[in-house]
A = this chain, B = another copy of it.
């Protein structure tokens, strides 16, 4: 009979803004190793509403291409009710008044879930050859954090 284990680790970072992407693969791998879990699921999660964790290639040309696409689909220079301080009454966050982030929320929602779930086998993340775990900032330069949760078997 096998014992279940749940392990959580948190990492803080300062992003650069401007749709910058940080490769967090090694930090995730270290957390999996620290967990002692050999087989299970690794959930890498952003607790922010204007960031996204995504698995894809970390290649500067592609990341530039994707930033161009995202800005074309969700233009920054556009009316966002979220940034209309004459209308807004909910969740008032003073620091957002200087620089609206309605487009950042829309980008995050379009990109999908807050996190990625990745299988673990024999203690290894089952990433493919070109897959990396990416933390994408969709808002301005900010202090951020991400979580990794691992659930599975130790033996």
| Chain A contacts to B: CB under 8 angstroms | 1-6, 8, 39-41, 43, 45-49, 54-57, 59-62, 64-66, 69, 73-74, 80-84, 87-88, 90-91, 93, 102, 105-106, 108-121, 126-131, 147, 149, 151-153
> Could you say which residues of chain B place their CB within 8 Å of the CB of A120?
149
5 residue pairs of the A-B complex, CB under 8 angstroms, read: A41-B151, A49-B57, A49-B130, A65-B82, A91-B130
CA distance A79 to B128 in the complex (A): 26
A69 B61 Cβ-Cβ under 8 A: no
> Could you say which residues of chain B place their CB within 8 Å of the CB of A127?
47
> Could you say which residues of chain B place their CB within 8 Å of the CB of A5?
2, 153
> Could you say which residues of chain B place their CB within 8 Å of the CB of A118?
43, 45, 114-115
A117 B8 Cβ-Cβ under 8 A: no
Q: A47-B126, A48-B128 given as contacts; is B112 within 8 A of A111 (CB)? A: yes
